[in-house]
Structure 1
């Protein structure tokens, strides 16, 4: 994989905002942004009102990118209707992801950016993964990787990188799922990714506490004492620079963010609320600890606004830029 290869951008749910924001992202980036090739339906991309060019290989993308959106054409099975997902297109939606991952593993593209998918039509068609992240982890499971395997989900906006120990689970289940082993593995993945993918030689990690005031010495909960502090001690013994468990309500303000490179958060809202407060439109979802680079906009398919021309491409543009930066960091090592 080299930083000079284009990125692969999967079209996502064809009835969602993916095609529209891809066209808008190309318009914004075509002169001086990182080149990418769309893995998707050429006819649908042409319907977005931008010039498109069919390509047979990602290597052709850079030559045409300034004047036309390069598309590796894998047509949909059923003409999509904006806002109305069709399970008939679930198979090709998954095929776009598989193709992009295959191209990344072969080095033909430098990373993968995924437009949002809709899970319900995928599940109706037999898709057995919770989402993109788990599917891509399976597709790359046999690829060599010199590091701690993820995936770990990281959300980033502006100068905040928030990484999750647990993700889409009920809040009532979080205390039992936040184990010493999970915290250690997550922190290892993040520590290595900061070096490999972000060029930070000595990463500084901050660990959020689970309970109010980080447990207040055990008065408000024992997880900080019984689970998180032992994890911190083990990580420090490995050479990972990580804080003691810190109260989450003082971890994300401007001055605090200057003291660390990434925050280890214990549950979904602990990470996503500060990220979306900092930059609601420009947040990026990153999968850490994989043999390939993968980023995604931090929003869904937008069925309620699909086809209306009002979808904002900010998050997708940020995801493309970040994937390009990560690819350059990997290539420089």
Structure 2
């Protein structure tokens, strides 16, 4: 019988719904059949979250180190970091330096645990970029290692693992997308569509699918322009940058296909034609994933599903994440949907098991 992987889960910004989602997700006792989860965060905030979601039947177990964890259904192990001294005074649902620092410290700690081999994979709840960067500036040189700005989780992971070539993958079940660029302006994103970068992302996408146990992944590469440029009529990036990258990937034995018009590639991928889609910029990949993963019930006026998973590829460690924000407006209400975190944990397990094969 194989040893179940240890998954380190950050609580996210404590002012958001991350702690509540964490409690709800780990109330799914079947998760413990597949992995050994441990939360990295402030025990007091997790206890408060358990009250918010009316799960006071669950025991919150304080750990000083990973080896203290019990990994027992009905008990949530928390690697305690003294981050929020006074939970009663801490402002839920608001941007704060204290919340941003707590979220950042949890991420930095879980990366350290993974790099040291104490956890097999990491899974992150959402942080608020404004709060985090206010905290980095406030604690410059003290709690931030001198860093005063990060665009988000991906860049934090890249920095603290020393990774130069990486990309974001979003997934909703078997629909997966990766990006040539993410958090830059659309104008700059077009300038970043270069052969070397496109080829790097194709390689990363191929390896990610293989790490998940897909033996011969089919990698679709989207075009940048309408109709893939119509042979240069609407743009030349496909001719000058994207096609050469695809040909280079094929020469390396990668089953890459394209460029494929962006308005059709995702419906084809949903139909099972491809295992992953290489997208040229942020919204090209995010919009289709969030359209299928975020389902709103008009009649009940509530979210039926918020299920996307965010995975950082190219790192020496595994990182998956929820594909939504901090949910400040929902914090403290106990109504947040935990499926995205459940799916993110499942993806972390899948990737860990795939790499062991």
Normalising to structure 2: TM-score of the pair?
A: 0.86
Question: Mind listing any 5+ residue stretches in structure 2 that lack a counterpart?
Answer: 51-57, 138-147, 295-305
- Please state how far the C-alpha of 1:12 moved relative to its aligned partner: 0.9
- Please state how far the C-alpha of 1:46 moved relative to its aligned partner: 1.0
Which of 12, 34, 58 aligns to 2:66? It is: 58
- Corresponding position: 1:69 with 2:84: no
- Corresponding position: 1:248 with 2:276: no
Residue aligning to 1:135: 156
- Corresponding position: 1:186 with 2:197: no
Map 1:142-161; keep pairs closer than 5 Å. 150-161=165-176
Greater relative contact order structure (CA < 8 Å, 6+ sep): 1
Match of 2:266, SS state, is coil
- Corresponding position: 1:320 with 2:345: yes
Q: Distance in 1 between matches of 2:253 and 2:3?
A: 29
Q: Distance in 2 between matches of 1:77 and 1:17?
A: 15
Q: Distance in 2 between matches of 1:250 and 1:88?
A: 45
Normalising to structure 1: TM-score of the pair?
A: 0.92
Match of 2:227, SS state, is helix
| Cα deviations by residue, 1:118-174 (Å, 9 ceiling, x for unpaired) | 1112211224211111111111118xxxxxx53210000022110000112222222
Alpha carbons 2:182, 2:282 under 8 Å: kept: yes
Map 1:209-248; keep pairs closer than 5 Å. 209-248=223-262
Residue aligning to 2:41: 40
Alpha carbons 2:268, 2:274 under 8 Å: kept: no
Alpha carbons 1:162, 1:262 under 8 Å: kept: yes
- Please state how far the C-alpha of 1:33 moved relative to its aligned partner: 4.8
Q: Distance in 1 between matches of 2:246 and 2:270?
A: 19
- Corresponding position: 1:177 with 2:184: no
- Please state how far the C-alpha of 1:279 moved relative to its aligned partner: 1.6
Q: Distance in 2 between matches of 1:211 and 1:21?
A: 39
Q: Are residues 64 and 138 of structure 1, via their aligned partners in 2, closer, same or farther at CA, if it must alter by over 3 Å?
A: same
Which of 104, 111, 125 aligns to 2:121? It is: 111
Which of 160, 167, 190 aligns to 2:182? It is: 167
Match of 2:219, SS state, is strand
Q: Distance in 1 between matches of 2:312 and 2:216?
A: 21
**Aligned residues: CA RMSD:** 1.8
Question: Mind listing any 5+ residue stretches in structure 1 that lack a counterpart?
Answer: 143-148
Match of 1:291, SS state, is coil
Point out the more displaced range, 211-220 or 37-46. Answer: 211-220
